[in-house]
Each structure stands twice: as structure tokens, then as C-alpha cells.
Structure 1
Amino acid sequence: MLAAALGAAGVAATGCSSSGGGSGGSRRLRVGYFAFPSGDLLVKNRKLLEKALPDRTVSWVKFDSGASVNQAFIGGSLDIAALGSSPFARGISGSSPIPYKVAFVLDVAGENEALVARRATGVTDVAGLKGRTVATPFASTSHYSLLAALEHAGLTASDVKLIDLQPQPILAAWQRGDIDAAYVWLPTLDELRHDGTQLTSSKEIGSRGRPTLDLAVVSDALIADDPRTIATWRSVEAEGLRLLASDPDGSARSIADELGISLADAKAQLSQGVFLTPKTIASADWLGTEGSPGRLADYLADTGAFLADQKQIPAAPSRETVRKALYLKGLPDGVA
């Protein structure tokens, strides 16, 4: 499994620097991202990180899901990346945790991740999926939320036929009629909604005590080699969030440009996300501050416990393990 993961990481990070081991020797900063409407995508589009770090060569590497991000970190091919809360909980579990830490919260999943059934199936609620074929990217936040939705409806994973597909293959399988339902995120999600029925969303599931988030993680190597770069990156991500709030039209234009969609679609997709303010991210309700971890640690520990109960991981990471996997140095000043 490790050999396969290393191979996948090498493919995912094509074009990234491999010299010097960590980022300190090469002066190249390797940043993993998702093509998903967020402040992070705004930072990429406007080259805010490149402007803030002129001494760095920033390489943006696109990923389809958190499982691939984890593989890239295992291979030492990333310095910073967007990563869902569920794959992060997986990554820090077990005897050989992935060497990275959470340093920022990009967004909280809302209506931008959801479970949709093909309208032709006649399924109108989650319980109606029993015996049906349901696709989701395994080891993702959508996978986690799907399991939570099934549990709430009185079903188990074995009551449906679960298929592991990435977003674009999900859309192709949907159009062929190969699957009955899918749990996935934007922009693929909006495509499914055209002829599908939404059964639940991550916003609804989160309100029942199982929130999912898009986090940003940094490698232990970067933390050791160059904490100043992390502080600068964090301040730039905070600026991205401020721009989403202060300049919604301009932000939507940048997102539309990145995703190749209309301005109207970009605005609609951004409206479905839950974006925290930088100050809130460093509050006790979320990431917390240096020496005082916030409730995010509890959310992540609960996520790990749920995944262990669902037999998705051998054992849940302890709360102490989770707390140690938060990089809080410089907070709250770094995002104030």
C-alpha cells in the first residue's frame, strides 16, 4: 500500500521540486488545491501568495480528493494543501501518522456538498437508497457525510452498493445511468442537481453534530524549516476570506475564471459555502490559539471515532493526538 501511495504521490506532484528534500533547500513552495469555490481558489487566481513571497517559486498542484493529497504528503511531495476534515482524521490515525498539521480552516461544508439521487429512480429520501448504487469519493468528507446520512436513516453501508468514484467519473456514471445516487461537492454537484433530487446536505448533517470542513495543512518539514513562510501564507489565506466578504462580485469573477463557469454560477456556488472570518477561525469555537486549542480538536476527534465505528480506520486518533496535530503558532495575531 505504501509503495502504491508513493507512486501516486509522484504522479500527483509532477512538476514540483524534489531537490533538497523539504521546501527550505529548493525555495519552491508546493501547494495542493481543489478546484472548488473558496478563498483558497481566490488566492490562487489573484496570485496573492506569489506576491507575498517573491523569493519563493510557488507551484499549485490540483487534486481531486483528500485521499490523493494524503498520498502526496506521504511521498513528501507537498508543503501545504487543502484537505477535508475526514481524510485528515484518517491521516493522523494509526501508528505511522502523516507528518502534517492543520494550520487554517478554509470553509465549513454547507449546501456545497450534498447527496443527490437521480430523479428517474423515484427516490425521495435517504432510506429509499436501500439496495441502490451510490457513488462518492472514498476517504473524502463526502464519504464521511454519506455514512452519517445512512446511519441517521437507519441504514448501514452494506445496505447500499457503494462505489468509489472521483467527481468527474461520478458525472459520467450519472449520465450513463450506472449509479442511482451520489454524494459529492461543487461544481459536479450542480450538474447532478439538474435532473436529480437532493436528499440531504453536509449543512444538514453538520447541524446534527457531524460537521465537515475544508482545512489547510502544512508539512512538519515546512514547520521546522520555514515557519515565516507559513505565517505569510496564513495571512494571505485570511485576506482571501476577507475579499469573499468585502468584494463578492470581484471574488465571483475570479472563481468563475478559475473554474471556467459563468459569473452567475460562480455567485450561486459561493453562496452555498460557509466561510468563517479570520478572527473566528482563531477563536475557541474553531482552531483556537497557541497554547489553547479550540473546538476543532473535538470535531476532528469525533470524526475519527465515527470512522473507527464505521470500520473505515482501525482505531480513532486520541484527542491528545489531534491536539498535537494542530499548528497554532502565531495565532491569533497571524489572522487578526
Structure 2
Amino acid sequence: MATLRRRTALLVALPRRTALLAAAAALTALTASACGFGGSDAQGSAGASGKTVVRIAYQAIPNADLVVKNQGLLEKALPDVSVKWVKFDSGGDVNTAVIAGSVDLGLAGSSPVTKGLSAPLNIPYKVLWIHDLIGDNEALVAKKGIGGIKDLVGKKVATPFGSTSHYSLLAALSSAGVPADQVQVLDLQPQDALAAWTRGDIDAAYVWTPTLDELTKDGKVLLTSREVAYAGKPTADLGIVTNSFAASHPEIVTAWLKAQDQAVAQVRSAPAKAAASIGKELNVSPAVARRQLGQLVLLSAKEQAGPDYLGRPGAPGKLAEHLRDAAGFLKGQKAVDSVPPVADFQKALAVKELSRATG
């Protein structure tokens, strides 16, 4: 993925759509080489084993998605399906992979998903699941000597552009009355931000765990995404599915939703077991994984079908309104061309699929 980021950096002078498509082509080649995609493993077709293939994008975020992966819950539910998990560094990379046709299901933050559903991207996917409501697991950390957000004027702050952290950072600057153009905001993935922090190249970073834990060892937390949410700018990690895959393989989508719901139930009833699985995926101790897990808010399928979240058929939830609010913010940052009507975001909520899995 580091190679992809370097290639993408060389494309910044091109128009945004052209640059993204070129990056998508690069990603397709990389993932095909690293993960055996392409050819007979294309979405909806039979792989080398003769099984239908589902390609799932995941991230190193301590939520129930890692329980599903580590414990093979989906593989157990779908023995006749080849499940391929592909790791990504950010939701922006997941968007690029979807455009490239490299993944069918995946996890991306609410900001990248909002961008994906807006012009110029207009990615044909829908929101299937809320992996977590982001809380203390994303935060703005600064070097010692920086006492508050207003002290960031003229400083270098790293965050992955287009991510929920980027959205929260810009919201925090706006709330504090600090013009974004008075801060040197740098586009760095979490691990790259950590390296820049260690070298002394940056003054602050807005990232998520587990990188966040490394920064707080010698840095000061100025603000968390939980506080940003309380101020009216909530963020979340969302599960997405391409429209074509949802239409072609409803049984896989249903099994995926049920596996996610099973994992959330395990987090609540057997947190030590869930934390052990998450720890293995993140290469941290179960104690650290459990603490990081506690920084998030996880919702069951029935809770997500409520009016405050995804909703149900005929009654889409408030998540659509939050996504539209995020689009307005991104439009102000010139990250999207326009703000789609709330009806467009309501149509992008996979309430039919969620209802089928909970019925």
C-alpha cells in the first residue's frame, strides 16, 4: 500500500477523477499481485476452487469486524464461498479499491463514504452496517508545549485526507475559530504520521488507534472524536457493499450481517474472548485490545434498525442526515463538488438488506 500512496502522490497535478482512476488501476494491479485477485477470482464468479469469491476490505480498527475475521465467523456460515480479507490503511484507499473493482464489501469511515456517495465519485455502493460510533479511539494529539487548538496556528498537523479524522480535525479547527489555511495540514496515513512524529517533522496528528496509543506516549491529547460528536459532528466506521454485489449475492450479504451481529453480541457477553481475537489481529495484548474496544460504541442489528441510525424499509434513519451534513462540510473544504439531497443518502442506506437479516 505504501507503493500505491507514492504513485498517487505523483498524480496530484491531474484532474481529481483522472487521478483517482489512475490510482485505482495501480491498486488493482497491486491487489491482484498480493492477494490473487483478478481473472477467475473476480466478483461474483468462481475462484480457482470453484467457489464464489467475496472480497472484503478491512482496517486495523479494534471493533467487532476483527472478531468476525479472526474467528472465521463468515467462513463458517458460508462453507461454499471463498472469503478473501484485504487490509487497507484508510477509507480513501477502500474507495479507490471499490472504483477499481477490487472489493465487494468493506469498512470505511463516514467521511470517505460521504465523499464516495457524492460527486465527482458517485460510487455505486450502499451503507450496510455501522461498525462503530467513533469515540475516544480517534483524537488530536500534539507535542508537549502546545496547550490547545489555537496554538496550532502555523504548526504542522498530520491526518489522512478524506478520513473521519480529517473531518473531525477540520471541524475542531472551525469550532475553535482557527482558519484551516493557517495550519499546515499534511496528508499522512497513520503509520506515516507516527514516523513523522518520531522524526520531529510534525507538531500534531489526528489519527486513530493503534497509532494513537503510540503518539500519546509522549504527546498530549487536545481533543477526541467523542467530544467532536458531542459538539454536533458525529463520525462512524461504516460497512459498505457494492450495489452489484448486493443484488447478485443477497445470501452472502445476509450471512455477513448476521456474522457482524454475532460478533457484537460476543463483545457484550464475552468481552475477554472478543478482545483476545482483536488483540491477535492488531498484535497487541488482550488487555490493550479490550481498552481500545471500550473507546468505541458498538450497536446490534436491531439497534441499527432504529430511527437514529440506519432505520428500516419505508423509514430511513438519521444516519442519512448526518451523511448529508458531512457532505456540506466537505463541500466547504472543496472535497466534493456538491451536496446531494438527503433523499440520495436515504436511498444509499441498505435498510432492505438489514431488515432481511434481522427478520
User: Which residue in 1 is equivalent to 2:348?
Assistant: 325
User: Which residue in 2 is equivalent to 1:28?
Assistant: 53
SS in structure 2 at match of 1:23: coil
Letter in 1 for 2:27: A
The CA deviation string for residues 282-324 of structure 1, in whole angstroms up to 9 with x for no partner, is 1111001122110000010111011102222221222121112
Distance 1:331 1:189 in 2: 32
Q: Is it true that 1:142 corresponds to 2:165 in the alignment?
A: yes
User: Which residue in 1 is equivalent to 2:326?
Assistant: 303
Letter in 1 for 2:82: T
- Kindly tell me: are residues 95 and 65 of structure 1, through their superposed partners in 2, closer, same or farther at Cα, counting changes over 3 Å? closer
SS in structure 2 at match of 1:275: coil
Q: Is it true that 1:3 corresponds to 2:22 in the alignment?
A: yes
Distance 1:290 1:335 in 2: 12
- Kindly tell me: are residues 159 and 12 of structure 1, through their superposed partners in 2, closer, same or farther at Cα, counting changes over 3 Å? farther
User: Which residue in 2 is equivalent to 1:19?
Assistant: 39
Offset at residue 21 of structure 1 (A): 8.3
Note the aligned Cα RMSD (angstroms): 1.4
| Number of matched pairs | 334
Judge conservation of contact 1:10–1:77 (CA < 8 Å) in 2: no
- Kindly tell me: are residues 218 and 22 of structure 1, through their superposed partners in 2, closer, same or farther at Cα, counting changes over 3 Å? farther
Judge conservation of contact 1:22–1:221 (CA < 8 Å) in 2: no
User: Which residue in 2 is equivalent to 1:252?
Assistant: 275
After superposition, where does 1:71-220 map in structure 2 within 5 Å? 71-119=96-144, 122-220=145-243
Distance 1:253 1:3 in 2: 39
Structure 1: 5+ residue stretches without partners: none
SS in structure 2 at match of 1:331: helix
The CA deviation string for residues 30-76 of structure 1, in whole angstroms up to 9 with x for no partner, is 00000110000110000001001111110000000011100000011
Offset at residue 126 of structure 1 (A): 0.8
Letter in 2 for 1:198: V
Structure 2: 5+ residue stretches without partners: 1-18, 47-51
- Kindly tell me: are residues 256 and 107 of structure 1, through their superposed partners in 2, closer, same or farther at Cα, counting changes over 3 Å? same
User: Which residue in 1 is equivalent to 2:290?
Assistant: 267
Offset at residue 113 of structure 1 (A): 0.3
Offset at residue 20 of structure 1 (A): 6.0
Judge conservation of contact 1:301–1:318 (CA < 8 Å) in 2: yes
SS in structure 2 at match of 1:332: helix
Offset at residue 16 of structure 1 (A): 4.5
SS in structure 1 at match of 2:39: coil
TM-score of the aligned structures, taking structure 2 as reference length: 0.90
Distance 2:25 2:170 in 1: 28
Judge conservation of contact 1:69–1:83 (CA < 8 Å) in 2: yes
Distance 1:209 1:236 in 2: 31
Q: Is it true that 1:243 corresponds to 2:263 in the alignment?
A: no
Distance 2:358 2:209 in 1: 27
Q: Is it true that 1:43 corresponds to 2:68 in the alignment?
A: yes
- Kindly tell me: are residues 95 and 149 of structure 1, through their superposed partners in 2, closer, same or farther at Cα, counting changes over 3 Å? closer
SS in structure 2 at match of 1:276: coil
Offset at residue 157 of structure 1 (A): 1.6
Offset at residue 255 of structure 1 (A): 0.9
Letter in 2 for 1:79: D
Offset at residue 22 of structure 1 (A): 5.6
User: Which residue in 2 is equivalent to 1:221?
Assistant: 244
* Identical counterparts, % of pairs: 47
- Kindly tell me: are residues 326 and 21 of structure 1, through their superposed partners in 2, closer, same or farther at Cα, counting changes over 3 Å? farther
Distance 2:317 2:158 in 1: 33
The CA deviation string for residues 208-232 of structure 1, in whole angstroms up to 9 with x for no partner, is 1110000000011111211111011
SS in structure 2 at match of 1:24: coil
Judge conservation of contact 2:254–2:356 (CA < 8 Å) in 1: no
Q: Is it true that 1:232 corresponds to 2:255 in the alignment?
A: yes
SS in structure 2 at match of 1:110: coil
SS in structure 2 at match of 1:236: helix
User: Which residue in 1 is equivalent to 2:13?
Assistant: none
The CA deviation string for residues 7-40 of structure 1, in whole angstroms up to 9 with x for no partner, is 2243245325323686322211100000110000
TM-score of the aligned structures, taking structure 1 as reference length: 0.96
Judge conservation of contact 1:33–1:61 (CA < 8 Å) in 2: yes
User: Which residue in 1 is equivalent to 2:11?
Assistant: none
Name which of structure 1's ranges 90-99 and 16-25 shifts more when overlaid on structure 2: 16-25
Judge conservation of contact 2:55–2:84 (CA < 8 Å) in 1: yes
